[in-house]
Structure 1
């Protein structure tokens, strides 16, 4: 049994990846680079790599992948590497490993830069990049006697508001750290996505009882398809809680049935067949919702392939209270 276990471990070891971080320069530009190394099963002197690098002045992760053989390393700006891609890639690193360094060149379209990188124990993202992310005050929007103060994260350029004048200290102390965390998470995600990453907001309600807003996102960070969707946030200013489900506010309302009664007969038959919006309540179990001054916005949650079916629906407060 021990011999069998030892054989299994020895067999698996070569395919287990390990990560290494580097710090150095491309030309005169400081960068951080991190790769995960996957040795070939039968020859640990060669294998594949994947990872990212970023310029210290920009902090935007650029995906890289490649291969190594003995002391030579080739990396391209792509999530997936094949030797044929080297000829068409916009960015190609050709490097030699010398002790704890990678020395060589970066071919950036029609320009060539010298590269000198040194191994480091520093975590590129956690230790270097993330502590540098900074919120810069942008503007103030008034909602009667209450202010939402908008900030932009400096590197990702993503905006989000915080609670300002007109809110109590308890309200600011409760919800601003939550907004900080949301803003920081979105900024990291955008910096990790060197492609198309868009976020916009609809602030639908600010009053003495609630703040309710929708975040709309459209993202493509590699893979077969982009991702589109909405996230709803509602803060109860009286109880100082984040309201996860609309049923916590209206526990007696059957939202699916009310929406079905209001909308099913007026919708296009073809759309109903394709999207099955009101065939059953499966698309409404994890719905997105938001409060407004007039009523509630509700958005069904479809599988990724059915994203074109997404549409906003609305129930007024009088409709919610109607038996």
Structure 2
């Protein structure tokens, strides 16, 4: 199994993953764990992985330890090695042949657990084929319709092209939107701590669809992730446009933005090197609008607060 989470330790380890399916009480679950043996004592080591209830499909991270055939795991977001059994959610399991048998303590309640080893990948073979897109609503832009869907288990939303677009446009871009929607849905299910997405439609006309995805995500670690991703579909060429320079190859966007917006007295611009460090614009996000282009510089993870929008009208661009 390839989804196991491997934790880097300060001593050598040997690791492999195992998948199980079975029950907590009467509720069916799938579990996958990565077993990390201590190199100097393979009867002991670390456990990392996740499980999900079959009715929800939302992954719950696990971390813990094993000693011979005894496995102890807790919610991975609240794992402290010296107080494993004090956690609110604790698996105490014993390996018996191809089974793990024991209990799950959830706060004051305790449930019997019986799990059987399976060759089925819990994510690829069981969870992902169950993901389902359900129609919500329709947004109309003149004669063109965007049809909104949500994924049943994750709640992730995204649109598809509907009436008003040609069959070729729908076939081409709806496949891309299916893929983007699936990525968002699996991301939300994999990260059950904090996973927020929203979409803003900036332009729908006879030539382009341009929209932005904003995200705020925390899946463990020191800091959450925030940011935006822009998408622009060319309805004529049937291609996703990666860079604004594809449409305006002769335009120096950094120079235009700097000439329009640079203010040497602005503390925000100074702290973020908005217009003094051109490399901040190398991987800029952008979107077309009816009146011009929104552009956003790109910063390292710890500096995403510096990412702000700057607008150039089509007249300003055409003068360059």
The alpha carbon displacement at 1:90 in A equals 2.1
Is contact 1:36-1:49 (8 Å) kept? Answer: yes
From 263, 267, 272, the equivalent of 2:269 is 272
Report the secondary structure of 2:311's partner residue. Answer: strand
Give structure 1 stretches of 5+ with no counterpart.
Answer: 1-13
Q: Which of 6, 15, 18 matches 1:17? A: 15
Q: Where does residue 65 of structure 1 map in the other structure? A: 63
How far apart are the structure 2 equivalents of 1:251 and 1:66? 54
- Counterpart-to-counterpart distance in 2, 1:255 and 1:88: 56
| Rounded Cα–Cα distance in structure 2 between residues aligned with 1:43 and 1:80 | 26
Question: Does the aligned pair in 2 maintain the 1:19–1:37 contact within 8 Å?
Answer: yes
Inter-partner Cα distance in structure 1 for 2:265 and 2:167: 49
Displacement of 1:268: 4.8
Superposition pairs for residues 22-33 of structure 1, below 5 Å?
22-33=20-31
The Cα of 1:81 is off from its aligned counterpart by 4.3
Q: Which residue of 1 aligns with 2:132?
A: 134
**Residue-by-residue CA offset, 1:4-45 (whole Å, 9 max, x unaligned):** xxxxxxxxxx72210000000001110000000011111111
Task: Give the conservation status (yes or no) of the 8 Å contact 1:219–1:228.
Answer: yes
Task: Flag the 1:268–1:30 CA change in 2: closer, same or farther, 3 A.
Answer: farther
- Output the aligned Cα RMSD: 1.2
Which blocks of at least 5 consecutive residues in structure 2 are unaligned?
1-11
Matched, 1:209 2:207: yes
In the comparison of the two structures, how many residue pairs are matched? 309
User: Displaced runs of 4+ in structure 1, greater than 6 A?
Assistant: none
Partner of 2:72: 74
Using the size of structure 1 for normalisation, the TM-score is 0.93
Please report how far the alpha carbon of residue 75 of structure 1 lies from its aligned counterpart in structure 2 after TM superposition: 0.4
How far 1:269 sits from its partner (Å)? 2.5
Show CA shifts across 1:163-183 (max 9, x none): 000000010011000000000
Equivalent residues of 1:236, 1:243 under 8 A apart: yes
Contact 1:40 1:47 in 2 (8 A): yes
Q: Could you state the TM-score of these two structures normalised by the residue count of structure 2?
A: 0.94
